[in-house]
Structure 1
Amino acid sequence: MKKIVLFASGSGSNVENIVNFFQKNSSVEITAVFTNNPKAFVIERCAKLNIRCQVFSRKDFRENLSVLEELKAIKPDLIVLAGFLWLIPAEYVQAFPNKIINIHPALLPKYGGKGMYGQHVHEAVVDNQESESGITIHYVNEHYDEGNIIRQEKCLVSNSDTADDVATKVHALEYEYFPIAIKDLLEL
């Protein structure tokens, strides 16, 4: 049985998509979802999906490292950041080398780094009149969006596209390819 732990900060739409993708796969268990946001909608999604969701504080994550200790106890095969906005401390990366992955809503190395998430990314793509955007699934290291790339998928951006249009196209790529990339990594 392969164990996945998910981290999210917001609505949890990618979490729900991943859970649904693996729901009928008896060799994969979504062990838990961790969130740093006590008001995140992902908490409600987890309740409906019957998945354990744990809220944690900055202190639990960075100072006393209680979240890291819980992860070590779970022994996940993969830790998936699905809309998680905090930088992962070095202690986590060292404890789980090449076992923490993230999805970014752009074609890295463009539009990555601190503050480049969600709508901020799509607005930058439109403002810079890019002809394409997409998603990057990558390993996590101690820096925002700088880990080795696992997979990228592209979508075209037209001159008439708004940031919302780009977001819609990018979300479709996330929902289609993120679970597949996770599955592929678990089968390695």
Structure 2
Amino acid sequence: MVSESNNSPSIKKIVIFASGQGSNAKRIIEYFSNTNQIEVTHVFSNNIKAPVLRTAHDLEVNALHFDRSAFYDTHEVLNLLKDIEPDLIVLAGFLWMMPKNIIKNFPNKIINLHPALLPKYGGKGMYGANVHKAVLDNKEAETGISFHYVNEKYDEGKMIAQEIIPVNENETVATLQKRIHELEHKHFVKVIEDLLINE
């Protein structure tokens, strides 16, 4: 159940889109539950089996599943977003391309986190372990995370911020993924705060 405080103009509303485990979504929900300026009101997922839906429910955030038709064809998801009127839509491990109609209706209000230093290792298929494997295969000296606005092409929207870490000697996909997750959990909430409170 969403509290009545959502109706207060002083509280910024976030909607999170996620497709899987939802560790970043959990971190964002928990972090902002301790503030009176920003609140996650809804989590949307295209995967009915995604653990993120259970996480949201457990943290008393509205959890909604949608299918491809509701997202791309019937505008059901768009209409829900219009009703919610979020100040920011956050893609946290969301694997589908955002429809043009949602991007058009929420200009500069949709952000994405990518687990690499864009423009390298972005685009379709570049998510999760695939990204880290590509970084290691190409013997990159450094990697990191990128926060960017969402446009009509995968990972090509205007850059908001990047955080860089060195690739360690004897790094594996598993160790790199763990370090990147730690970087995400540290910086995602800061980027959101900067966009919504320090705008």
CA offsets 1:2-39 (integer angstroms, 9 cap, x no match): 11000000001000000111011112121100000000
Corresponding residue for residue 6 of structure 2: none
Corresponding residue for residue 53 of structure 1: 63
SS in 1 for 2:182: helix
Corresponding residue for residue 181 of structure 1: 191
Which of 109, 125, 130 aligns to 2:140? It is 130
SS in 2 for 1:93: helix
8 Å contact 1:21–1:179 — kept in the other structure?
yes
2:188 maps to amino acid: F
Query: What's the TM-score, normalizing by structure 2?
Result: 0.93
* Correspondence 1:96 to 2:106: yes
Deviation beyond 4 Å, 4+ runs, structure 1:
none
* Correspondence 1:109 to 2:109: no
Corresponding residue for residue 26 of structure 1: 36
Equivalent runs, 1:33-72 vs 2, <5 Å: 33-72=43-82
Q: Percent identity?
A: 52
Structure 2 unaligned segments of length 5 or more: list them: 1-10
2:41 maps to amino acid: T
Query: What's the TM-score, normalizing by structure 1?
Result: 0.98
SS in 2 for 1:9: coil
2:72 maps to amino acid: R
* Correspondence 1:169 to 2:179: yes
Cα shift at 1:159: 3.3
CA distance in 1, matches of 2:192, 2:41: 15
Corresponding residue for residue 119 of structure 1: 129
CA distance in 2, matches of 1:175, 1:77: 21
Which of 14, 17, 21 aligns to 1:7? It is 17
Cα shift at 1:65: 1.0
Structure 1 unaligned segments of length 5 or more: list them: none
Corresponding residue for residue 3 of structure 2: none
CA offsets 1:93-143 (integer angstroms, 9 cap, x no match): 110000000000000000000000000000000111011110000000000
CA distance in 2, matches of 1:182, 1:93: 18
2:129 maps to amino acid: Q
CA distance in 2, matches of 1:39, 1:20: 22
1:53 maps to amino acid: A
Give the alignment's Cα RMSD to 1 decimal. 0.7
Which of 129, 132, 153 aligns to 2:163? It is 153
SS in 2 for 1:129: coil
How many residues are paired up?
188
CA distance in 1, matches of 2:57, 2:165: 33
CA distance in 1, matches of 2:189, 2:143: 19
SS in 2 for 1:34: strand
